[in-house]
Amino acid sequence: MAEIEREMMEYDVVIVGAGPAGLSAAIRLKQLDADLDVVVLEKGSEVGAHILSGAVLDPCGLDALIPDWKEKGAPLNTPVTEDNFFMLGEAGKVRIPNFPMPPLMNNHGNYIVSMGNVCRWMAEQAEELGVEIFPGMACSELVYGDKGEVKGVVAGVFGLEADGSLGPNSEPGMELHGKYVFLSEGVRGSLSKEVIERYDLQSGKEPQKYGVGMKEIWEIDPAKHKEGTVTHTMGWPLGSNAGGGSFIYHLENNQVYVGFVVHLNYKNPHLFPYMEFQRFKHHPIVADLLKGGKRVAYGARAITEGGWQSMPKLVASGVALLGCSAGMVNVPRIKGNHNAMLSGKAAAEAAYAAIQDGRSGDELHAYEEDVRKGPIGKDLKMVRNVKPMWSKWGLAASLTLGGFDMWTNNIFGLSLFGTIGHGKNDAQSTEPAASHKPIDYPKPDGVLSFDRLTNVSFSFTNHEESQPAHLRLADANKPIYDNLPMYDEPAQRYCPAGVYEVLEKDGEKQFVVNFQNCVHCKTCDIKDPAQNITWTTPQGGDGPNYPNM
């Protein structure tokens, strides 16, 4: 497709992804210079359609970007009023008191939000400033200049034949060139992945670590609803099988967000993250809350968990990685949206200064320095050892030693542990199936727990079936001949949308990819032990259509 002639449009800055990072960058650029030409390209059918987050939002990013956000009607309607932490057993719970926790763990002053709705509001602010936003425009390729710099993207390719070729009804898309390109694709974005590999941006850093987060929105009995209540749990049902935990957030309109995160460095390939989530809802504290209610939406996405030591170099010639594309989630706080916004602002300021100096296509070192030495770096560095402690020594050590480490960082600005490495990536963490016992999961009851395909229908996902599958296998034989005998083909279980199946036809096993079900979580790209699956963008507008995740 590199030889196809396309129309070309020139901008000062091209931004890929209308999430909190990309929209913050667009807003800040136009605040600095109303005459800058800025475009935001979003693969979802509308802004917010592909946004899924917990979310309890620390408003510090918005405070820095749009100080009068309250007056402008930002949808931050539910301040946190109560913080609960529980360690769960199969039938009971133990409250973890708030007082020994470092100040950074306090949610006072934060808001329970739909990040989808926050991004829709941010898009309105950007458009009022003159930013061009094009939803339904997936960016499928990077465009490189003569000196090897990133100079643009290819967007808006539609109607390809199933084999990837152009057909009579195909649209080849267009090239959008910029003095700088910002990649704010979220976790494990396909273009960000290419840039990190091409420019070796992960060199000298720890491997990135991930979790898979699954979330349902429930409408519950008003008598049980406690607006502003935030609850986090650890322990059951995961136990020692995997790291992770849950969140339950009471927002407005008698709705609650019920979510579950499983760290993807688990060893047992029989583990079924989605079914762990469904089993969790049968714990008495959750079942009692949800009884009489109804689930109204479902979704899933990967989460970056590597933190400070896994964050790649953020810039290469002509390009910068923003937000979750670089991995800016504070794991113990379960928050990254504030850092995404701050990164967008920092990248915009660096690009503005460069353009004012007549530069283009070079490395925005000022952005890298701002992130490393500014509030984002401070936020991530303080908690850098919590995740590797959990992975290496278990939950109890993470709670005690991790809490101690956060306190010493908070008070003295130092850690007695230095910086602990992560070691293996999540794919390499998977061990042979023969080394582990299968896990017996209860069948979903259709009231509190649901099968994957039923739940996927509540993500409102859709893909044009005649297009090429956007989930690409490097070797079509590996799933059956390698992964199945060695790992019992874990794609059958780690995917939270039921995309992958092993079926038998005419006495032979077949690996089936139901790409139409994909909710764009990227878990397969991360966890496949053979690293045989690559997630790429389908045509624009396809995928989930989240209402207010």
Q: Tens digits of per-residue pLDDT, 450-503?
A: 999 999 999 999 999 999 999 999 999 999 999 999 999 999 999 999 999 999
| Rounded CA separation 215/260 (Å) | 6
Q: Summarize pLDDT for 381-428 with one digit per residue, the tens.
A: 999 999 999 898 888 878 888 889 899 988 888 898 999 999 999 999
Which of 448, 172, 127 is closest to 287 using CA atoms?
Answer: 448
Q: What are the pLDDT digits (tens) for 119-148?
A: 999 999 999 999 999 999 999 999 999 999
For 15-29, write each residue's pLDDT tens digit.
999 999 999 999 999
- Counting every residue written for the chain, the total comes to 549
Cα 402–403–405 angle (5° rounding)? 65
Tens digit of each residue's pLDDT (9 = 90 or more) over 501-523:
999 999 999 999 999 999 999 99
CA distance 233 to 276: 13
User: What's the mean per-residue pLDDT of the chain?
Assistant: 96
Q: Which contiguous run of DSSP H or E holds residue 354?
A: helix 337-356
CA distance 324 to 520: 14
Average pLDDT (31-46) is 98
Q: What is the model's pLDDT at position 350?
A: 98
Q: What is the pLDDT of residue 2?
A: 46
Check: pTM over 0.85? Answer yes or no.
yes
Domain boundaries, the chain: 8-70+116-205+312-382
Paired tokens of 282: 């049968």
98-106: long-range contacts (C-beta < 8 A, 24 or more apart)?
A: 100/403, 101/403, 102/403, 102/406, 102/407, 102/410, 103/410, 104/330, 104/332, 104/333, 104/379, 104/382, 104/383, 104/406, 104/410, 105/332, 105/333, 105/406
With a pLDDT cut of 70, the percent of the chain lying above it is 100
The string of pLDDT tens digits covering residues 164-176 is 888 888 999 999 9
* Structure tokens belonging to residue 508: 């032979």
CATH of domain 8-70+116-205+312-382: 3.50.50.60
